[in-house]
Structure formats: structure tokens, C-alpha cells
Amino acid sequence: MGCSPAFSETPLVPALLDAAAWRVGSAALTGLLLEVCSHPKPGLVTPLSMGSHADMDVRTFMLSSAAIAPCLFQCAALGRSHRGAPADLLPAVRAVGRDHDAALLAATNGVNTQRGALFCAGLLAAAAGCLSRETDALPAENVLRTVGEITEGLCDRELRGRTGEPRTAGEILFRRHGVLGIRGEVEAGFPSVLDCGLPALRTALAAGHGLNRALVHALVALIAVAEDTTVMWRGGPEALAFVRAEARHVMDLGGALTPEGVDAVRRFDAACVARRVSPGGSADLLSVTVGAHLVEHRVFPETATRGFCLDGDRHHPKPDGDRR
């Protein structure tokens, strides 16, 4: 019986994954799952909202996450079995990624829920796998730097050096506005994650806030700085300037860690839906933020997993634990 058409024939990764590959892949997958189930999020899909989308809800993301999960474990294994310079790992990782790009679109009947997330999380898993060959300690800073080493030269190859008709959204936006988008982010080693997403997440967790509040807080910090081509594709540079300014306003009110900040997130969400704007790239960076945190720390603090919902989510009674 042949493989499904969405998968290449040649086995690219070791048949058996070891404990480290399972652990790294699981951390990256957790980032995808926790991102989509956090709520509220400006313009984005949550368990309670379709955000600015008419063609996807939380179930669509469950379908695509299930379809691309194997890629994350395979990328971790590729990293662990790689011998040589990090940049030599990229072709094998992209080949597995392209297979699962097709699997994602097959699972969602063509809806692009997580193509960017697949790219980001796959590279995170490959980088962590690569580093784990030398040590069990996987500080986020080292893993993210390794992503930059694996993708060294990507922007020159796929954006600056490309001639002829642009084929993808990223290429079109680069030609039109000079933005590097997701490729610039990964080649620089995820600076938005290292400098903004992780500090915001860790500040919230260290203060004893629940996981959902910490995730929303980190997302807003990321929207304020990310060069999100998903936003730009739909609304141009003006839309990107709008979401960044709104996110900075929310952070000035304390982000998701204060009642005023949470109210501002809800207003931000309504404004994004009214403009049909969706910061999907920033959501991908939240997935990477969570994955990088778990690759380093393996679990969240117990206080984080008690309360889950924010004030005002009347669909769920206020749970014990997150009393803020």
C-alpha cells in the first residue's frame, strides 16, 4: 500500500525517534495547540471566536495541527541525526515541511490555517534537535540562535536574490514594501520571540498568572513588534501600523495582566474584526514562544495550569486558581 499522496516516498528521517526527539516535537506541538485555544485574541481564531475569518474555526486548527504534528517530530529527529553545519540541515527540513504543507491543506480542504506556524515550529524543532545532540540543557536563547544558523542566507536566496515574477505573498510584499516577514524573523533567530514574547510570557508566569492570561499577554507583546505580513497582505502598511499601535496601547495599560488591559484586548479584537485584520504571523510567533519556553523548562509552573479563563468569559464559570 503506497504512502498517501501528501507524503514523499523516500523516508527522510530515522525510522525510530528517541526520547529527546519526542520531547522536542511535543514542546513545539504544544505551542501550536495552546496558541489557538487562548482567548481573547485580536482578530484571531479562539475556541469562542472565528475572529476575522469566515473559513476557519478552532476545529479547523485541530485538523491542521493533527496533520502537521508528525512534521515537528520528524524535524526534531532530523536535527538530532544531523552531522555538519546547521545550514546544511535546511533542505531536508524544508522537504519534510513541504510534504506537510500539502497534508495541512488536504486536512482543511484548502484553508491556510497554519502554513506559517508549520514553518516556524518545524525550524524550532529542528534547531532544538540539533542542539540536544550536545547537551540536555536547551536554553531558548541558544535554540533560537540555531534557527538563525540553519536559515542563514534565506532572505538573499528567496527574496533579495529572486528575479522574475514573485510567486508567494512574502515575495510580493518584499518587492512592494521591502519587508522580510517570516523569512527575516527566522534568519535573525526569532528576535520578536527572544526580546518580547518570552519576557512577556515569563513575567506573567513568574507573577503567578494563569496560562491563558500569560499567553494573551505574550501575544499582545508580539503584535506590537512583529513585521506580520499576514496583516500587511490584507490591509497594507496602514493595517500593520494600526495593529502595532493598538498592541502598544494595550501594553501601556498593563497588557493582559490588568482588568483595563483585558478590556482593551477585547476592544482591539472588535476593531480587528471590523477591519477584517488578522495577525496570524504574530500568532505563529506565540506558538514559537511557548515551544521555546517548554524546550528549555519542559513544563509550566503549577500556578499556570490552575485557572484558565479570563474575567468576563461568561461561557465558563470563573475557575479556582486564577483570581486576578
Ligand X SMILES: CC(C)(COP(=O)(O)OP(=O)(O)OC[C@H]1O[C@@H](n2cnc3c(N)ncnc32)[C@H](O[C@H]2O[C@H](COP(=O)(O)OP(=O)(O)OP(=O)(O)O)[C@@H](O)[C@H]2O)[C@@H]1O)[C@@H](O)C(=O)NCCC(=O)NCCS
Ligand Y SMILES: Nc1ncnc2[nH]cnc12
Q: Work out the angle at residue 46's Cα, subtended by the Cα atoms of residues 44 and 47, and round it to the nearest 5 degrees.
A: 160
Query: From the list ligand Y, ligand X, none, which binds 40 (C-beta under 5 to 8 Å, kind-based)?
Result: none
> Which one, 101 or 284, has the nearer CB to ligand Y?
284
Q: Which does 138 bind (CB under 5 to 8 A by kind): ligand Y, ligand X, none?
A: none
Rounded least distance, CB 253 to ligand X, Å: 24
209 binds, among ligand Y, ligand X, none (CB under 5 to 8 A by kind): none
Q: Which residue has the cell 499522496?
A: 5
User: Which of 24, 27, 45, 77 is the binder for ligand Y (CB under 6 A)?
Assistant: 45
| Residue type at 15 in one-letter notation | A
**Binding site partner of 36, from ligand X, ligand Y, none, Cβ cut-off 5-8 A by kind:** ligand Y
What DSSP letter does each residue of 150-183 carry, written as one string?
Answer: HTTTHHIIIIIT--SS--SHHHHHHHHH---HHH
Closest contact distance (angstroms) between CB of 123 and ligand X is 5
What are the C-alpha distances in Å from 140 to residues 78, 143, 239, 246, 247? 19, 5, 31, 28, 24
| Interacting residues toward ligand X by CB under 6 A | 71, 75, 93-94, 96-98, 101, 112, 114-120, 122-123, 168-171, 181-182, 185, 226-230, 234, 278, 280-281, 284-285
Within 99-118, the residues that bind ligand Y by CB under 6 A are: 114, 117
The CA distances from residue 37 to 23, 183, 221, 309, in Å, are 21, 26, 18, 11
Q: If we measure between CA atoms, which residue out of 112, 31, 130, 153 comes closest to residue 75?
A: 130
Q: In terms of Cα–Cα distance, which of 169, 166, 163, 74 is closest to 125?
A: 74
- CA atoms of 204 and 213, how far apart (whole Å): 8
Please identify, using beta-carbon distances, which residue of 55 and 260 lies nearer to ligand Y.
Answer: 55
Residue 226 within binding range of ligand Y, rule CB under 6 A: no
Binding to ligand Y in span 51-110, by CB under 6 A: 51
Q: Which is nearer to ligand X, 211 or 286 (CB)?
A: 286
Q: Which of ligand X, ligand Y, none binds 44 (CB below 5-8 Å, type-dependent)? A: ligand Y
Q: How far is the CB of 14 from ligand Y (least distance, A)?
A: 29
